[in-house]
Structures are given as structure tokens and as C-alpha cells.
Amino acid sequence: MSQVLEIVQFGMGGVGRALFGLIVQHKAAIRSKLGVELRYRALVDSTSVLRLEQDAALSHQHLLHLWNGLKPAVRERLSRQPGATTKPSDSAVLAHELERLKSEDSGANLVVVDVSGAAAEEMIPVITAALSQGHRAVLANKRPLCGSLHDYKQMVEAAGFGLSRLRYETTVGAALPVISTLRNLANSFDLIEEISGTFSGTLGYLTTRLEEGSLYSEAVAEAKLAGYTEPDPRDDLGGVDVARKALILARTLGYQLELSDVKVTSLYPAYMQEMSLPEFMTRLTDLDKIYLSRSQEAAATGETLRYVATVKEGHCRVGLEQVLKDSQIGRLKGTDNIVVFKTQRYHNQPLVVQGPGAGQELTASGVLADILSFVR
């Protein structure tokens, strides 16, 4: 008999839609090969909730029809799907599903999946409530893991011994095995001396182009045109997203840090934050000489520029650094991510995890792997 995992999914953006499609398309194979029945109970976006009754959740044709309306090529809003209703609060959605599950007395396990970009204060209560009642949670959303230290502690304490009911592999490096590697090292009593790396494909592309001789303003414009940046590149260039990833690694190690404790060096000056987007893009040329000079200085000493995150000795920092061209981080090109674990056992030759660190399909595959890890 198949083990049943019932899914309440928060987030129907690119990753959320990719995950839904992945599960719908491979539902039968997952059941036959792994003995796991994945059932959707509810899909939730920023405005709507679509609750699936048991017959609909079991009907492959119903799910395929729903997927045809939601897949990225079509991108119909969830609110336009038959049966969708206006969402109350996320907490109210979960409370309803927990009560519904209890009344069914099916013995199924609930998995809350957060692939949204919702704020920590919205999602931490949802995740903590599910975990505290013995259910499970999978996060691709970094924000709940970067909320206040007090709220974070409550959430992880609810997750059970060794975080047995919480997974968040895709919060750092998409589907790369970064979190699992870190936890395996720590659980085998290796002393982790330093974690460093480049955790942003956008900033990896940017620094590669600087190394190749491009002007800073040109490299940012190219990255934006290629779709590597957020609609407003300042969301990448400010370094806060990299800081969140560094904080997640640090907290996984047990560091008692707030996001504000991470030292972040932005790639643009503070006065440019108040500019309109068109003005910001135009004024990027003001920074060309600065970054050209820094790139040339690095090259003169056999080094190159990379946007590096470092977790070490209870502290975190992220910013532009000069690294040796023939180092693990210096050899990295383009949009790939790299995480370097220097430990007592991997001291002279650090353990390296490297590869694509972004992408909707990749991230969705990592989330699915996290969901299925509960039954392995």
C-alpha cells in the first residue's frame, strides 16, 4: 500500500508552477517506483486558494486539465480556475486544511510546501503551526529561515529532533546538495572551519564579464536583458539575497545571528537606491571607472573579482573580493554557483559543491526531492 503525502502548496509563481507540473506529470511513476502517493490538497497564491477535494486530487485527468491552465506557457491566474476562492490569511488556509484532514481521519501526512516569496512574518506562523502538529514542511522560500532569531528558533524547535520534519535544500544553490552536505559534515562531527562561495548566478555573470573587460554598466545591462537579474537589478546588486543564503548556512551551523548581523557590501552606492529604475540604469556609467580600476588591480596580481559570501568563526560577510584566478572560486565562470567547505577533515583540499544555482525547473526538482525524502 502506498504511503500518502498530502500537499498544501503556497506559491504559484515560476517555481510553484514548475513543481506542480513535475508532480502531475510524474505522479504515477512516483507511486509505482517509490510507493508514494502525492496528493494536492490546496494550491495557494497571493490572492486565491484552490482546494482540491479527494476525488479531484486523485483524478489524473483533472490535474492535467488544471496544469494546462497553470503551466508557465499559459500562466492563467489561480483565481480563474474553477473552484478557486479569495484567500483569507495563509494561517487561516492552513488551519482549514488541518481541520479538514483531521475530520477525514485518513492517517495521511501533510506537507506544507513554501515556494512563495512571502515575507517571514507571513509564513513562519504557517510553517510552525504545521510542524508543531507533527506535519512536515519544505521550503524554497528563504525568508522564513531569515526571520527574527526568536521566530526562527521556535520554527526549528517545532521541526523535531535534527529538523526531521523540515527540509530547505533549495534555499541555497537551487537543487545543488549544499544544505545536505553541510548537515552531513556536521552530523559526522567534522569541524567546519569556513564556508565560502559565490551564491548568485547574476553576480557570477557580472564579475565574469568584468574579468573579460566589459564595463560595469554594460555588464549589468547585458545581465538584465538576458533575464539574469530581477526586474530591478538593485535587488541583485545590493547583495541582500546572497546575505540571506549565507545566514541560512550560518544558522544551520548553529550561529546565533540576525540578518542585520551579516556584513553586506553593495555593488552600488546608497544614494542610487532612491533613483527611478531608468535613472539608475543610466547612471550606472558613473561606476564604470571604479570597477574597471578594481578589475585591473586584481588582474595585475594574478587575481580576479568575485562576489563572495563567507561564513566563519561565528560571523558572516558578503561582498566583492579579490581572489586568486586559479582558486576554486576564481576559476568559476558565468552563472554557476560554488560552495567551498573547509573543515578539519577537508582542510588542505576543501570539499566543493558546484553547478547551476538557479532555474525554475532545477529548483522545482530539488523541492520534489525534499518532499520525497520524508519517505526514504
Q: 245, 263, 289, 342: which is the annotated catalytic residue?
A: 245
At 273 the pLDDT is 96
What nine digits make up the cell of 295?
578589475
Model pLDDT for residues 315-344, shown as the tens digit of each residue: 999 999 999 999 999 999 999 999 999 999
pLDDT band at 99 (very low <50, low <70, confident <90, very high): confident
pLDDT tens track for 103-140:
776 667 899 999 999 999 999 999 999 999 999 999 99
pTM: 0.94
DSSP letter string, 316-344 = EEEEEEEEETTSHHHH--TTEEEEEEEES
- Among the listed residues 15, 320, 357, the one whose alpha carbon sits nearest the alpha carbon of residue 201: 357
Q: Give the C-alpha separation, 170 to 147, whole Å.
A: 17
Helix axes 120-132, 90-104, angle to 10 degrees: 20
Residue 231 sits at the vertex; the CA angle it makes with 225 and 236, to the nearest 5 degrees, is 95
Mean pLDDT of the chain: 92
Question: Which residue in this structure is represented by grid cell 566543493?
Answer: 352
pLDDT recorded at residue 53 = 72
| pLDDT tens per residue, range 59-77 | 667 777 777 777 665 456 7
pLDDT(56) > 60: no
Answer yes or no: is pLDDT of 243 > 60.
yes
> What tens digit of pLDDT does each residue of 269-285 get?
999 999 999 999 999 99
User: What residues have CB less than 8 Å from 13, skipping those under 6 apart?
Assistant: 45, 115, 116, 117
Q: Where are the beta strands (DSSP E) in 25-78?
A: 36-44, 48-51
Instruction: Indicate if the pLDDT at residue 261 is higher than 60.
Output: yes
CA-CA distance, 287 to 309, in Å (whole number)? 22
- List Cα–Cα distances, 217 to 287, 334, 345, in angstroms: 7, 17, 42
Residue 168 and residue 164: Cα distance in Å, rounded?
A: 11
Contact residues for 300 (Cβ-Cβ < 8 A; gap 6+): none
Question: Is 312's pLDDT higher than 70?
Answer: yes
DSSP secondary-structure letter at 275?
Answer: S
Delimit the domains of the chain by residue range: 3-175+361-375, 192-356
The question of whether 342 is a catalytic residue gets the answer no
Give the mean model confidence (pLDDT) for residues 263-272. 97
* Over residues 217-230, mean pLDDT: 93
What percent of the chain has pLDDT above 70? 95
What pLDDT shows up at residue 83?
Answer: 81
Residue 307 is predicted with a pLDDT of: 98
Closest Cα to residue 307, out of 281, 282, 280, 336? 336
Kindly give the pairing relationship between strand 315-324 and strand 263-264: parallel
Instruction: Count the Cβ atoms, other than its own, within 10 Å of residue 365.
Output: 17
Q: What is the pLDDT of residue 75?
A: 59
**CA distance linking residue 171 with residue 143, whole number of Å:** 9
Q: What CATH code would you report for 3-175+361-375?
A: 3.40.50.720
The least confident of 21-30, 66-75, 239-248 is: 66-75
Q: Are 31 and 2 in contact (CB under 8 A)?
A: yes
Q: How far apart are CA 174 and CA 356, in angstroms?
A: 8
CATH among 2.60.130.10, 3.40.190.10, 3.30.360.10, 1.10.287.130 for 192-356: 3.30.360.10
Average pLDDT over residues 98-106: 79
Q: What is the mean pLDDT of residues 16-36?
A: 93
